[in-house]
Chain A
Amino acid sequence: MLTERLTSLSPPSVSRRDMLTKCSTGFGLLALSGLLAERSGADGAGQASPFAPRQPHFKPKVKSVIFCFMSGGVSHVDTFDPKPLLKRDHGKPMPVPVRPTMFNEIGNIMASPWEFRRYGKSGLPVSDLFPHIGGCADDLAVIRSMTSVGNEHAQANYFMHTGFSLAGFPSAGAWMTYGLGSVNQNLPGFVVLASGGAPLGGVGIYGNGFLPAVYQASFLDPTQQEAVANITPRETDSRQRKRLGFINRMDQSHLTQLKGDEQVESAIRNYEIAYRMQSAVPDLVDLRGETDATKTLYGMDSPVREKAEYGRQCLLARRLVERGVRFIELTCLPRPSDAGQIGNPWDQHGVLKAGHSEMAFQVDQPIAGLIKDLKARGLFDETLIVWAGEFGRTPFAQSGDGRDHNPFGFSVWLAGGGIKGGTVYGATDELGYHAVEDVSTVYDLWATVQHLLGLNHERLTYRFGGRDFRLTDVHGHVLHKILT
C-alpha cells in the first residue's frame, strides 16, 4: 500500500528519484489497474488498463513514432519535388484550369527560388532549403503524391491528424496509444512537445475524440515554468508525502466503509502515479546529462532561439523514445521575423523566399541531428519519423512572391525502421499542381504508419455513436513500395 511505503520512507531527505527507483518493483502492476476507466459495455470495456502494453496484430517494425508536423503547409515544389518547368515558364499564366483557392489571387507560374541537388547514393533531390536533411537522403522515403481534402488550415490540420476534417475525432497519436498501450507507465503514451504554437483549429487536433480521455495528448512545453501542467509540487517533498499519507489513510477508511469499490480504489492508486510523474517529467526535461557534442548535433547551440528550441524538441523526442513513449509530435516555432504568425508559420502567401528560409533553417539541422543521433544509439530502426505539413503550395504565385494552399499534390517523407531509404514514391504533374502517379492519401500515410507499428489499420476500430470508426475512415492502403 502507498501508505506504508510513504511512511516507511525516512529520513525525508530521500529524493524523488531515489524513491522512484526503490518503489519501481511492483509499481507496474499498480499502475495498470490504477488507470482503469469506467467504460460502458457498448463502448467495449474489458481491458485491464488503457495504458497496458497491448499485443499488436503482427510483428511490428517500430515501437515509436515521431511526427514532425510542419504547420502552415510546406511548398513541395521548393523542397522535395523539383519542377524544372516552373523555371522555364516562370511568369507565364497557368496552362491548366486553376481550382478555387483560399484567397482567389491567382498569379502566374513562379519558379522556385532554390536550387535542387542530388544527395547520397540514391541521388534523391532535395532543395537548398534542407542541406542537413539532404545529407540523410538515403534514409528518406519521399511520397511526392500526397493529397488532402482540406484547403483551409484548421480543417486540413484536423484531416491530417485524425482522418476527418472536423473536430471530435481521435488524433493519430491517440489511436496508436489506444492500439498499443504504452511501455512507460510514468509518462503519457502520446506527448506533444508544445514549445511551438498550437496549429490553427486549436489543440483539438491532438485530442482523443471519442476515445477515452486517457489517450489524448499530454502537452510538454520545456519553455514553460512547468513542462506539464500542474506537474510541479506546490510544497516540499516531505510535506507532500505527509499529505499523501494522510489522504491514503483516510481513503482506505472510506473504502472500508464502502466495502470496496473498484472506481474509488483505482482513484486512490492514481495518486501514486501522479506522484511519480512529478519526478519522471523533470527527469525527462533535465538535459544536464547530455554532452555538448549531442546538443550541437541538434543545433541547440544556435544563437537563433527558434532553431535551438526546435533542437531541444528533437532531443526530447529521442529521450521520450528511449523511455518508451509511443507517439511524439513536434511543433514548429514562429518565424523570428513574424512572431505573430504562431499557428501556421510555414504559411507563406507572400514573401515565400524569406519565410521558407527561416522555417527550414529552424528545423533542418535539428531533424537531421535527430536522425543521426537515433542511428548512433541504435534507435533508428525501431523509430519512425514522419515529416509532413497539412498541404502543399501552388506552383503559381500569390501576391507576387507567395504561394497559396495546394491540397491536390504535395510531398511528405518517412524515415526509420522498415522504411526503404532513398526512395521517391508517386509524382505530381509537370507543374507540381496535382498528384498524378501513385496518388496517395492521408489515409494511406496512416495505414502505413500503423502497419509499421504492427497494426492492421482496418482492424483498429472503436465503436462510437453506432459506428465502428478507424483512423483511416473507410479508406487507406499500406504503401508497400516504400517499405523494406
Chain B
Amino acid sequence: MSTLCVAVLSLSSAQPAPPLGRDDFFELRIRPVLVNECYECHGPTQQKGGFRLDFRGGLFKGGASGPAVVAGNAKNSLLIKSIRHEIPYAVMPKNRPRLPDSVIADFVTWINRGANDPRERPSVDTKTSVGNWDAVLQARKQWWSFQPLQNAIVPIVKNKVWSTHPVDRFLYSAMEKRALEPSSAASRETLLRRVSFLLTGLTPTLNEVRAFSQDTSPNAYGKVVDRLLASPRFGERWARHWMDLVRYSESHGSQGDPELPMAWRYRDYLIRAFNNDVPYDQLVREHIAGDLLPNPRISAAERLNESILGTAHYRMVEFGYVPVDALDDQVKVVDNQIDVFSKTFLGLTVSCARCHNHKFDPISQNDFYALYGVFASSRQGQVVVDMPSIKQTNRASLASLKKEIKAGLGHAWEMEVESLPSNLLNQATQRAERERLETGIHRLNDEIADLEFRARTDLSRQRGFEFSKGVPTPLARWGFEGDLRDSRGNMHGKAHGAAKVRGGRLILSGKDAWVVTEPLTVTVREKTLEAWVTLEGLEQRGGGALTLQTPDSEVFDSIVFGEREPAHWVAGSDFFRRTTDAGGPAETVKPGELVHLAIVYGGDNTITIYRNGLVYGTPYKQGTLTTFAAASARILLGKRHLAPGVTSLVGEVEEARLYDRALTQDEVLASFRSGTVAIAPETLSISLTLAEREKRSLLQRDLENLQSLLSKQSTLMSTETWKSALADASVNNANPLHPWAKLAGLRGDAFTKGWNDLSTFWQREMESRREFNRTKFTETWNLRGDNAGHWFMTGSGAGALSGDFSVDVTGDRVLQGLYPAGVFTNALTSKQNGVFTSPRFRVTTDNISVRALGDNSFARLVVENYVIGNGGLYPSTGLTTNEMKWSRLDTAYRKGANAYLEFLTADDSPTGSRSGAEGRAYFGAAEVVFHNGPDVPKETMVPAAYFMAGQTTPQSAEILAKLYGERLKTAIVHWMDGRLTDEEESFLDYFVRHDLLPTSLQHLPALKTAVATYRGLEAEIPVPRRAPGVHEAAGFDQPVFVRGQITQLGKTVPRRFLEAFGGKAFQTTLSGRKELANVVASPKNPLTARVMVNRIWHHVFGRGLVTTVDNFGRLGEKPSHPELLDYLANRFILKGWSIKETIRFLVMSRAFQQTAVSSVSAQKRDPANVLLSHARVRRLDAEVIRDSVLAVSGQLDLSMYGPGVDVYYVGKTEGGGPKGPLDGQRRRSLYQRIRRNASNPFLEAFDAPKPTSTRGKRDTTNVPAQSLTMLNDPFVIDQSKKWAQKLIAEGRTVDERIRQMFTTAFGRNAKADEVIMAKQYLHELATEHAVQIDFLDKSELVWQDFAQALFCLKEFIYVN
C-alpha cells in the first residue's frame, strides 16, 4: 500500500526547483536536513561509526565504512546509498522515516554539482543550535500542508458519462492513471442504510425504507439526503465525532475521578451547533475564545450564550489528585490542552515540542511555550452561559427600588434618632414597664386556658370514637385539649422546660421545651409516627416533632425537621442508622399553618415519609427496624432525642399519634384528610357554662388591654434587642454603647474620669493596632470601592462604597446590616454569581489573609492553576458570615509557587455546586494582606473607638446621650449622601445590625410595598446556568522549560502563534486567545480548512484523503489526492465554512453511491482502495451499534439533551460510583455519562475512545470481547426480549415476521433463501425450547433467540 501511495503522490507533490546559488542551495536544502536528521548521532556529542558530518572535513572523510561523499558522483557516495536505504546496515536516518524523495533528489543534485560545503569547522553546540533553527524552520516550512491552498482545477476526464460531479472527476482522473474503473451504483437499500448511518448514526426505519423504495422521482436520493441533514439526529451523530477530538469527558480522572460539573451542556451545544450548521470558522472561534467574541452567538430558544460554551473543551483535562508539585501538574494539563488544540484544528503535534524543537515539523520549542502562555493565562472555572440579557433581569428596577428603600430607611432612622437621647435616659424605667405588661399577658393566657380545661377534656373524650370511620386507630393519641393526656391509652405526657398546653395545642417555645410520656404498654417494631405541627420559622434546625426512644435516649426514631439539610424533613435515628435524605422538597409552610407529617416504618425495613398525605421524596431502606420494648420506650415531643445540646422544635403540635403498625398509603391519606380532632372555638364556647363564659370574656378584655399597651411601648427602647445590646456593652469595650453602659450611672468627676480613661485607652489601643498592622503585614490589595482595578470579576460583582447593603428577600427584616466599602456580588441579589480573581503573583509569605464576608462562598489560593484544589495542600477558606472579618490562608507550603487568589460563589466552583436549588450565594471582599506571622490583622474599625475619637469630654450622662444622637444623625446623613466613611459605617452598622434602629417591616410600614415589590422582582431572577469554561485574566509569558525540566527556566517566550505562520507576538495584555482564534479561524491558514474537510471526507468515505487525520506533519501520511483536498478546502471556505453543505456535496457524488463490491482489477492494483474505485465496508462505531440495537428493538427513546445517564457496568470501577440502568434509560449512547475512571464496558468493547487526547480516527479492532458481548451481554439479551415481545404483540405470520425483522435490522428485504434459513433455525429453536410448531409465533423464547441471532450477524454491525 505504501509503495502505491508514494507513487501516486509523487505525481503531484514534486515542486519545481527554483534556481539557487551554490551556497544558497546548501544553506536552504542541505544544511537543515543535516542538522535536523544527522547531527544528533554524527555531530558534536556523538560520532556513531566514527563518523562526524557537522563540518566539511568530517563529511568528506567519512567513518568506519569510508568516505561518505564523493564530490560529483552521487551514485557512488555512501551518503546517498544510505539515505536511499540501499545499505542494510546503514539505513539512514536511523529510526526515522525515510527522507522524502525530493530531499534525496536535492542531495543527489548537490553532490553531483560538486558538494559545495562552506562549513569549515565542527559545530560547538551540543544540541541543534539556535542559529541553525531558522534554516531548519525554513526548510521544514516547505512541507506540503504548510503551503497555501492551491487553486486546484477540476480535471478533464475521458469518461464524462460516469459523473460530472467535481469530486468524481478528481477521483476518476486518478483512477484513469491506474487503469481503474469505478464500480456500479449501490442498490437503493444499501445506499439508504449507508447514508442514514453516516448522517444520523441510526438505521433507516421501516417506513423510511419503504418510502425510498417507492419514490421514483429523479431526485429521490437528494430528498433523502436533505431529510437526514435536517434531522435532529444529524447533530447527535456529528457532535459525537467532534467529542472524539476534544476528548470529551465529564470527570477529571486520577484518584477519586472528580466530576466536571455541567459538562453535558457542552455536548448539547455541539448537537445544536451541528444541527444549525454553524460555520466552521465560527465554531473554531468559539472553541478558542468563545467567551471573548464581541457579538456572541445567542440561542433565542434556549436563551443561551452559545459561543461561550465552546470553551468547555479546555476543561476536559486530567488533573492529579492534590498534587504536591502543582507546577508539574499544570505542565501536564497545559501540554494536553496544546496537544488537543493543535491536533484538532491544525493537524499538528505541537506538544512534541515541550522538551526540544520538534524533530520533524517546523515547530520550535519556543512555539510550545508561546502557546503555553496563552492557555496557562486562561483560568479554568465555571462560566455563566445565559444570554447576557438574562443577567440584567429586573436589575434596573431593583436598583431604583433599592434607592427608594434606602431613602425610606434613612427617613425612619432619622426619626428614631430624634428620640434616642431621651430614650437612652429613660430606658431603665421603660424596660420595667414592659416587663410588667408581658408578665400580665402571660398570666391572663394561663387563666383562660385553665378556665377552658374542663370543657376541652369533656369534648375530647366524647370524640374518641371518631377513629372508626375508615380512619386508622392509633395506639396512642395526644390531642392537647387542655392537658398532655393520651386519649387512647396510658401514655400520658409530662411537660419539661417551657412546654405547655394552651388552646388545644402543645406550645414548644424552643427554649429547651419538651414533653416525655409514660412508657409503651406493648412492644413496637413496625410503626407509624404521625403529627400535625406548625413551625415558627423554617431556619430552625434539628427539632423533633414526635419521637419514640429508649429510656437512655440511645436508640430512637423521630420526625425531624431541618437536621441534615435546612428545611427538609427526615426520619431521624441514632447515628443516622435508619436515616437517608428522602429527597423531598424544602418545607415552605407559613407560620401558624398546620403541616401533617407521618413516617411509616415497614416490616421489610422500608421507611416512607408522608407530608400532607403524600409521599415525601422517595421511600428507602436503610438499616433494620428497631424493636422498642414495652414498659421501656417512651414518646418524646419537641426533641429528636434527649441528649444535652439537642435542639427543640420551635412551634406548636396540634395533635400527635402513634400506631403499632405500618399504615398504608391510603390510610395515611385518610388520616390526613379526616384531620385532627381539634375542637373548634365555637364548639368550645358552647360547651362552657354561662359563668365560665362570662369570666372568660372578662379575662379576654384584660388581655386585649395589656396587649394594646404593650404595642404602644417605644419599639426602639423596650425590645429584647436593647436589653441584650446593653448587656453586651457592659462587658464588650468595642461596643459603641460601652461608654454609655460604663458611664451613664456616674456623676461629676467620676463621669469625667471614666470618659477620659476610656478615651485614652482607645487612643493608645488604636495606635498600637495600627502599628501592629503596619509592621506585620504587607497590604497587597485594597479592594475598597473602585480599587480592584487589576482583579478580574465575572458575574454580578461590583465595587461598592461604604454603607451599601442588600435587601433581605424573606422574613420580617429589610436588611441585615451595612457593609464597608469593597467588592460585593449581592448588591441587588444573591442569586447571581461571582468569580473575582487577583492577578497572578508569586507566593512569598507563610500566610495570606483576606478581609471578606459571604455565604455559600469561599476565598482560596489557586496554585499554579490547579483549580480543583480546595483545602489541604491548596489553601481555601469558607465565607460564612454577613460581616467582614479576616480569614487566614496558610500558604507556607506553597512559597515560591505562582498563584492567584480567588473569591467565588459555590456554584461557580470548578469542583461542583454546593448551594441549594435557589443557588443563593454571595461574597464581599475588601482587603488582602501578605504576612509571615500566624496572626491576622487587628480590627481597626471599632465603633466605640470611633465614637470617642476627637470628642471633647462630655460632662454628664445627658450630654453623652445627646452625643449619641448627634453622632448617629451625622452618620445617617452621610449614609444618605453617599459620604459615609468605613469608621462611620462600623458605628452606624452596629445599630442597624442589632436592630437598635428599625429594620423590620413591622416597624417600617411605609416600606412594605417597596420591599414586597423588590422581593417579587428578585424572585423572578433566574439562577444562572453554568458550564465549564475559562475566565480571562492578565496574560503572562512563559519561560521555556529547558529540556522540559520545570526547574530549569530558559528564555521567556511572548504569547503568539507558531513561527511557521510568522510568529508575531500578540499585542494584548490578556491571554491572547482572541488573537489565536483569529489566526486559526482564518481562510489564510491553510491547515484549518484542509484538516476539517479531510475529517469530513474521513467520515463520509471511511478513510481520509490524508489518512492520518490528526497529523498533517511529516510523520503523517501525504494526501492521496492533494488537488482534490485543496479544491474541497477552497470550496469549504467559499461556501461559508458550511459543514452540512460540504457533507451534502460529498454524498451527492457518484463515488459515495458506488457499491462496496470491488472489481478484480481493483483488488490487484489498489487493494487498499486508496483511489476509491468502490465503496468501503465499515464496522459501525460503538455508539451506533448500541443505538441500533435499541432502535431495532423498538425501544430507543429519542429525547435530546440534559445531564448524562449513569452507565451500567458489571465488575469494578474505582470507588464504584453510581450505576445506571441496564438499558441506559433507552437513550442514545451519546447521552451516557463519560467518566474517565469508569468507562462504559459495552462501548469500550467496540473501540469507543478513552478521553485522553484527540482521536480523529477510531480504532476498529476485532476482539473476542465483541463477540462475547453480542452473544452474552445482558443488554443485548434484554433488548432481544423486548423486540420479541413487540413482534408477538404485533401478530403477523412467521414469514411476514421474518421479512419485517430483516428490513428493520438490515434496511433491506430478506431474500428467499434467507427466509428458508431463518425458518429452519426457528424450527430448531422450537425444538430446543420444546415449543410446538403451531405455537411457534407465540413463543417469546424462540423469537428472543432469533432476534438476538440477527444482532449477532456481521451485517448488523457492518455497513457497506
Contacts and interface: CB of A to CB of B under 8 A. Distances in A.
B1198 interface: no
Interface string A102-128: 111000000000000000000000000
Contacts of B1252: 166-168, 209
Contact of A39 (B1214, B1238, B1259, B1320): B1259
Interface string B1061-1092: 00000000000000000000000000000000
A479 interface: no
Given A202-B253, A238-B1328, A213 B1212 contact: no
Contact of B255 (A168, A200, A253, A467): A200
B1250 A204 contact: yes
A471 B324 CA distance: 25
Given A37-B1259, A263-B1177, A242 B1328 contact: yes
B321 A202 contact: no
A323 to B, nearest CB: 16
A259 interface: yes
- Chain B interface, >50% SS class: loop
B32 interface: no
Interface stretch (B384-392, B535-543, B675-683, B1270-1278): B1270-1278
A149 to B, nearest CB: 8
Nearest to A239: B1328
A274 B1268 contact: yes
Given A42-B1115, A213-B1261, A165 B332 contact: yes
A144 interface: no
B174 to A, nearest CB: 18
User: Which residue of B1262, B1267, B1317, B1357 has the most chain A CB atoms within 10 A of its CB atom?
Assistant: B1262
In this complex, the interface size class of chain A, counting residues with CB under 8 Å from chain B, is 35 or more
B172 to A, nearest CB: 22
Interface in B1117-1160: 1117, 1156-1158
Interface in A432-484: 461, 463, 465-468
A204 B1239 CA distance: 9
Interface in A214-238: 214, 218-219, 221, 224, 226, 228-236, 238
A201 B349 contact: no
Interface string B1146-1179: 0000000000111000000000000000000101
B801 interface: no
Interface in A246-266: 246-247, 249-251, 253-255, 257-259, 261, 263-264, 266
Contact of B5 (A41, A207, A239, A467): A41
A243 interface: yes
Contacts of A254: 1353-1355
A155 B320 contact: yes
Contact of B257 (A202, A207, A266): A202
A475 B821 CA distance: 57
Contacts of B1261: 37-38, 212-214
Nearest to B892: A104
Interface stretch (B66-74, B112-120, B990-998, B1104-1112): B1104-1112
B352 interface: yes
B146 to A, nearest CB: 15
Interface in B229-284: 253-257
A167 B1236 contact: yes
Contacts of A226: 1210
B324 A101 contact: yes
Nearest to A236: B1328
A188 to B, nearest CB: 8
Contact of B1214 (A200, A209, A224): A200
Given A202-B257, A230-B1271, A243 B325 contact: no
Contact of A202 (B324, B1214, B1268): B1214
Given A40-B1107, A204-B253, A274 B1353 contact: no
A342 B1212 CA distance: 11
B1262 A168 contact: no
Given A204-B1237, A239-B1325, A270-B1263, A264 B1352 contact: no
Contacts of B1273: 230
A213 B95 CA distance: 25
A403 B882 CA distance: 41
Nearest to B1111: A466
A243 B1349 contact: yes
B1302 to A, nearest CB: 10
B896 to A, nearest CB: 11
A242 B1352 CA distance: 13
Interface string A69-106: 00000000000000000000000000000001111100
Contacts of B1353: 247, 250-251, 254
Contact of B1253 (A214, A231, A465): A465
Given A202-B257, A242-B1321, A466-B1115, A152 B1107 contact: no
Interface in B319-356: 320-325, 332, 336, 339, 343, 349, 352
Contacts of A249: 1317
Contacts of A234: 1271-1272, 1277
Interface in B1234-1274: 1236-1238, 1241, 1247, 1250, 1252-1254, 1257, 1259-1269, 1271-1273
A154 interface: yes
B360 interface: yes
B414 interface: no
A274 B1271 contact: yes
B689 interface: no
Contacts of B468: none
A71 to B, nearest CB: 11
B1245 to A, nearest CB: 9
A153 interface: yes
Given A168-B1250, A214-B1263, A465-B343, A194 B1211 contact: yes
A366 interface: no
A205 to B, nearest CB: 10
B1212 A100 contact: no
Contacts of B1259: 37-39, 212-213
Contacts of A461: 95
B1078 to A, nearest CB: 26
User: Which residue of A154, A251, A257, A264 has the most chain B CB atoms within 10 A of its CB atom?
Assistant: A154
Contact of A153 (B255, B318, B1352): B255
A34 B1263 CA distance: 9
Nearest to A343: B1214
Interface in B358-392: 360-361
A250 B1314 contact: yes
B1215 interface: yes
B1236 A246 contact: no
Given A204-B253, A239-B1345, A465 B1354 contact: no
A271 B1352 contact: yes
A267 interface: yes
B393 to A, nearest CB: 42
Given A249-B1317, A258-B1360, A202 B1238 contact: yes
B1113 interface: yes
Contacts of B1358: 261, 263-264, 267
Contacts of A103: 872-873
Contacts of A197: 1212
B1 interface: yes
Nearest to A271: B1267
A146 interface: no
Interface in A384-408: none
13 contacts: A166-B318, A204-B1236, A213-B1247, A221-B1211, A246-B1320, A253-B1314, A254-B1355, A271-B1271, A271-B1352, A274-B1264, A343-B255, A465-B352, A466-B1115
Given A100-B893, A235-B1345, A267-B1179, 10 more contacts: A37-B1260, A153-B321, A167-B253, A201-B254, A202-B1237, A207-B1250, A214-B1261, A246-B1349, A251-B1354, A264-B1358
User: What 8 A-B pairs come out closest when comparing CB atoms?
Assistant: A202-B1237, A168-B1252, A274-B1267, A466-B349, A154-B254, A154-B255, A246-B1321, A200-B255
